[in-house]
Structure 1
């Protein structure tokens, strides 16, 4: 592997911002498919890939989500071109014979172990969610990830079979840079890291 250039680092991290105000510009189906095709190559433990995504594009779909949102998240979410509902599949291990085919016992490691299943699914879907945000930025989209919502209400409305549980939401589109908040502080290396 070779290091990416400074422009790429800026696009993905240092110049990228979380957006709350959106330009009136659609995100195409092709762009959403491309986003998934880029992000799904990111690694997960045992290649388990528990992330499941609902792309809410219609106003009707967003209105179904609205009652579960904290008041401060409602307006920006209703105005976002796309709201991605990122969840995790608690039956991900059923797919391990295909996804982790070199280990014949992988599925049996999870069967009947609810805590292990949920911990693995939540952790790895969160990792995949990070890839999702970076892939969106890499493809020229802006992202507004958030967790201010009632998970139980979202699960009842959108994942009623109980197999998938909501993790977080991510508004997608083309952000209005003129409406960005000032960038907030970040911890310095020595505040949160140790070299042992």
Structure 2
């Protein structure tokens, strides 16, 4: 093997990890979520920007409001998960760049003065961060159930604001009975990789 990561860790993060559709009722603690974020915040993004915003849905009242905006096939999963996170892109992330990228404080105005440029960058880099977040959930020994089947505008109005774009809703917890479906095939190396 040419990978440095221990095979057990490779299994935990990738080979054996599965999208969970059912969960036990074991709670996901604030400390677990903090540890996940404190690990994955180091994932690379352009200009070290951190446009990802995480809205944790814990209360029964907030969960009920969220479930209404989920696609029908995702409602039961979201209603029963111990914790649900709405991952969104902050389209005003550039306001933090001088702090995060002090060697190049003018990046805020040079590259992100126009809203369309900011939104594109926020979406791309928050999506990268969302992927790191899912791997971080797995690293914590939990399962993630990421979903994009939802009413984005409804979630924005209900939980966010006009400066945030909802990207993915993630159910989080210990996998329950029959949590995952049989693994679907993946493309092979030869189908994906081209050398020029």
Q: TM-score, normalised by structure 2?
A: 0.95
Q: For the aligned residues, what is the CA RMSD?
A: 1.2
Cα deviation for residue 104 of structure 1 reads 2.5
CA deviation digits over 1:85-114, x for unaligned, max 9?
A: 000111100111100110021111244412
Whole-angstrom CA distance in 1 between matches of 2:89 and 2:19: 23
1:164 aligns with 2:142: no
CA deviation digits over 1:50-103, x for unaligned, max 9?
A: 000001112111111112111000000100001110001111001111001100
Q: Structure 1 residue runs of 4+, over 3 Å off?
A: none
Aligned length: 194
1:192 aligns with 2:169: no
Q: Give ranges in structure 1 of 5+ residues lacking alignment.
A: none
Aligned to 1:118: 119
Aligned to 1:130: 131
Cα deviation for residue 177 of structure 1 reads 5.3
Q: Give ranges in structure 2 of 5+ residues lacking alignment.
A: none
Whole-angstrom CA distance in 1 between matches of 2:138 and 2:179: 18
Whole-angstrom CA distance in 1 between matches of 2:110 and 2:177: 47
Secondary structure of residue in 1 paired with 2:50? coil
